[in-house]
């Protein structure tokens, strides 16, 4: 089986057996894909490692793409390996980060992955923890309820793909004949952003690139997270949040 779900933000209660009883029939050869904002590699502390060890003990394999709320400094410490046709980083033997711009072969289906997303809670700025007046700025921003983040503490520029990752994505899709079974992202393409927001959300370089992919690629389903809701658009664009949903064979 292959299941998919939305943002976890480092909290994995949805995978408890009483909430996800389907896992009793699953093995490590079955997958649950998290569509970004995994958040399980955030501070490297003891409690975080316990949560990762708990994920490793689940009967299935956990896969995830990146969102906009990941500690990219810590993720970069894991070695890059080849796995099922694409590049990954093993956080645990069965907790696997699917890198951007890849096509994976899973249970006879092809999956194109392009994680990342732009944070929408930073309009008041990004603070540098190394500035001399950091604490003065931080406390002031907190006191006025500002929406801000701290560089390399709660925000990383790597939340958005690099130029090289966009180029690699186009190259790998070209090699795949611009045809895959599933597209797994965190953000949505411009067209779906408009449907989701009634035209009130802004585009960004990633949503615009995903729009280019949407228009050029043949696929069966596009699964994404980021927007904290459960909706289906035009039958094949599926916004996921908290509930794991089965997808194997739905092509």
* DSSP result, 114-133: E-----SS-TT-EE-TTSTT
pLDDT for position 238: 97
Please determine, for residue 18, whether its predicted confidence score (pLDDT) is greater than 80: yes
Cα distances (Å, whole numbers) of residue 132 to 127, 145, 197, 238 = 11, 22, 40, 45
Query: How does DSSP classify residue 223?
Result: E
The answer to whether the beta carbons of residues 140 and 131 sit under 8 Å apart is no
Q: Give residue 90's pLDDT band: very low, low, confident or very high (50, 70, 90).
A: very high
Average pLDDT over the chain, rounded to whole?
Answer: 95
Mean pLDDT value of segment 109-118: 97
The per-residue pLDDT for range 132-141, each reduced to its tens digit, is: 999 999 999 9
Q: How many CB atoms lie within 10 A of CB 213?
A: 20
Q: What are phi and psi of 117, to 5 degrees?
A: 180, 160
Lowest mean pLDDT among 53-57, 104-108, 119-123, 133-137: 119-123
pLDDT for position 248: 59
Joined tokens for residue 239? 């916004």
Q: Tell me the pTM.
A: 0.95
pLDDT for position 249: 47
Mean pLDDT value of segment 211-218: 98
Please determine, for residue 5, whether its predicted confidence score (pLDDT) is greater than 80: yes
CA–CA dist 24, 154 (Å, integer): 36
Mean pLDDT value of segment 119-125: 90
Please determine, for residue 36, whether its predicted confidence score (pLDDT) is greater than 80: yes
Alpha helices in 62-189 (DSSP H): 72-75, 134-143, 163-175
Cα distances (Å, whole numbers) of residue 50 to 5, 28, 144, 239 = 21, 19, 36, 29
pLDDT for position 173: 98
Cα distances (Å, whole numbers) of residue 176 to 18, 54, 170, 171 = 40, 36, 10, 9
The per-residue pLDDT for range 137-178, each reduced to its tens digit, is: 999 999 999 999 999 999 999 999 999 999 999 999 999 999
CA–CA dist 223, 246 (Å, integer): 12
Q: What are phi and psi of 165, to 5 degrees?
A: -70, -40
Q: What are phi and psi of 171, to 5 degrees?
A: -65, -45
């Amino acid at each position: 089986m292959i299941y998919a779900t939305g943002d976890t933000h480092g909290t994995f209660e949805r995978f408890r057996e009483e909430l996800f009883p389907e896992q009793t029939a699953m093995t490590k050869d079955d997958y649950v894909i998290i569509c970004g904002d995994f958040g399980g590699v955030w501070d490297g502390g003891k409690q975080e490692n316990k949560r990762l060890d708990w994920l490793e003990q689940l009967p299935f394999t956990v896969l995830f793409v990146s969102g906009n709320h990941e500690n990219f400094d810590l993720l970069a410490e894991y070695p890059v390996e080849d796995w099922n046709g694409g590049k990954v980083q093993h956080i645990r033997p069965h907790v696997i980060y699917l890198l951007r711009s890849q096509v994976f072969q899973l249970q006879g289906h092809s999956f194109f992955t392009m994680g990342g997303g732009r944070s929408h809670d930073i309009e008041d700025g990004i603070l540098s923890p190394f500035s001399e007046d950091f604490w003065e700025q931080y406390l002031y921003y907190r006191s006025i309820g500002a929406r801000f983040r701290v560089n390399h503490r709660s925000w990383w520029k790597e939340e958005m793909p690099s130029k090289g990752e966009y180029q690699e994505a186009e190259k790998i899709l070209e090699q795949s004949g611009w045809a895959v079974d599933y597209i797994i992202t965190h953000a949505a393409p411009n067209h779906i952003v408009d449907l989701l927001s009634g035209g009130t959300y802004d585009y960004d370089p990633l949503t615009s690139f995903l729009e280019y992919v949407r228009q050029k690629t043949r696929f069966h389903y596009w699964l994404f997270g980021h927007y904290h809701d459960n909706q289906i658009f035009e039958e094949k664009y599926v916004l996921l949040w908290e509930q794991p949903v089965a997808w194997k064979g739905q092509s």
